[in-house]
Amino acid sequence: MARIEVVAPNLKFRLSGVTSTIIQLVPVQARTLGIATLGPGLPDSLPKIGWRQLPGLLKRPASGKRRIWHARRNTEMAAGLLLKWLLRSPLHLLFTSAAQRNHQPLTKWLIRQMDAVIATSARSGSYLDVPHTVVMHGVDLDAFHPPRASDDAFAASGLPGRFAIGCFGRIREQKGTDLFVDAMVELLPHCPDWTAVIAGRVTAENSSFARELRGKIEEAGLSDRIVFLGEVPDIKVWFRRLSLYVAPSRNEGFGLTPLEAMASQTPVVASDAGAYSEMVVAGFTGAVVPAGDGKALAAAIGDYLADPHLARVHGENALAHVRNRFPLSREAAGIAEVYDRVWAGR
């Protein structure tokens, strides 16, 4: 505990985008910073403290600084306030906001109690009523990379066709899975070289939604060319097997999958939900369409299905763009600058 200067709590059992961010980012931060996670659902490879070590937060680390409690959810902001106000723990409180909506009164109040606030995009920052710094998420360029081995080729999947188009994430309306399926039902009959793959978990509340999608696919006679993979043990290889990735969300917090696709040398057609329009360079690394607009989505996808060479060129552009703008190390450095300003009293 004497070496820990930053605590990154993860007070949620189920995997989420926030949890994924912590899992990727903390190991990079730990190279130059005394940081530890706290909470369930995190791999043992991360530096972490246990609940029994919480009393250690009541005194300062060996450096003499106040520890930073870096929250990313309301529950974590509230927990930090309890530690600081009720238990008199010497903490600085910091919050990262990814939401792109008007915050509820309680959330606004919690945010006002923070010593510093980070927004993950310019759009999410526009919903904040307090001073903040924009630090966009990055992607692990070691984990997500272009094809290198034979297993990275789409042919290794055993599925039909020469090219793959993918849509990954939880199967639900918010993620626009139905918009993707509708586009595939319209386009694939005219593009015999392409196969669509859908990967992600179906929760109980979305089981009927998923059944309706499967029924629509069966009715179109495309069950062998629009394939549900379910939850796969390693999604990274599937990004490398794609010639085009689609992110059709109706609304989103930030959304990492376009970065993961582009780091894999795969162009992206995305809605303008989340921070997608701040990641994808339209006409260079992919295309951006209005969220919820199925016709615009199908038209943008159709351009690539009709011209695989365009997909290849934009994939190469996407890789260079992500390597320049979105390495995980850049995100870690931006957050470190905020930490330093907090410790300096600015």
Dump pLDDT digits (tens) for 33-61. Answer: 999 999 998 999 999 999 999 999 999 99
Report the alpha-carbon distance of residue 219 to residue 182 in Å, rounded.
12
pLDDT, tens digit, 9 for 90 and up, residues 285-296: 999 999 999 999
CATH architecture group of domain 150-325 = 3-Layer(aba) Sandwich (3.40)
Q: What is the mean pLDDT of residues 148-176?
A: 96
Q: How confident is the model at residue 115 (pLDDT cuts 50, 70, 90)?
A: very high
pLDDT of residue 328: 95
Residues in Cβ contact with 46 at an 8 Å cutoff, skipping those fewer than 6 apart: 22, 23, 26, 27, 37
Report the alpha-carbon distance of residue 342 to residue 182 in Å, rounded.
49
Report the alpha-carbon distance of residue 102 to residue 18 in Å, rounded.
19
Helix (H, G, I), strand (E, B) or coil at 175: helix
Report the Cα 60 to chain-centroid distance in Å.
33
Q: At 37, give phi and psi (nearest 5°).
A: -90, 165
Q: How confident is the model at residue 274 (pLDDT cuts 50, 70, 90)?
A: confident
6-9: strand order across its sheet: 35-38, 6-9, 67-71, 91-97, 116-119, 133-134
pLDDT of residue 19: 87
pLDDT, tens digit, 9 for 90 and up, residues 126-137: 999 999 999 999
Residue 253, CB-side half-sphere exposure with 13 Å CA sphere: 16
Percent of the chain surpassing pLDDT 90: 92
Long-range contacts of 149-153, Cβ-Cβ distance < 8 Å, separation of 24 or more? 151/237, 152/237, 152/240, 152/241, 153/241
Q: Give CATH 3.40.50.2000 domain extents, the chain.
A: 6-138+327-343, 150-325
Q: What share of the chain is helix, strand, coil (3-state, %, to 5)?
A: 45, 15, 40
pLDDT above 80 for 241: yes
pLDDT, tens digit, 9 for 90 and up, residues 302-332: 999 999 999 999 999 999 999 999 999 999 9
pLDDT of residue 255: 86
Is-contact 240 232, C-beta < 8 A? no
pTM of the predicted protein model: 0.89
When the candidates are 3.50.50.60, 2.120.10.80, 3.40.50.2000, 1.10.3720.10, the CATH number that belongs to 6-138+327-343 is 3.40.50.2000
pLDDT of residue 158: 96
pLDDT of residue 13: 78
pLDDT above 90 for 121: yes
pLDDT of residue 14: 73
pLDDT of residue 12: 86
Q: What is the mean pLDDT of residues 216-232?
A: 96
Annotate 108-170 with three-state secondary structure.
HHHHHCCCEEEECCHHHHCCCCCCCEECCCCECCCCCCCCCCHHHCHHHHCCCCCEEEEEECC
Tokens of 60: 């300062």
Percent of the chain surpassing pLDDT 70: 100
DSSP 70-122: EE-SHHHHHHHHIIIIIS---EEEEEEE---SPPPHHHHHHHHT-SEEEESSH
Q: What is the mean pLDDT of residues 184-188?
A: 98
pLDDT above 80 for 17: no
Q: Which residues sit opposite 244 in a β-bridge?
A: 165
Look up tokens 């409690």; give the residue: 69
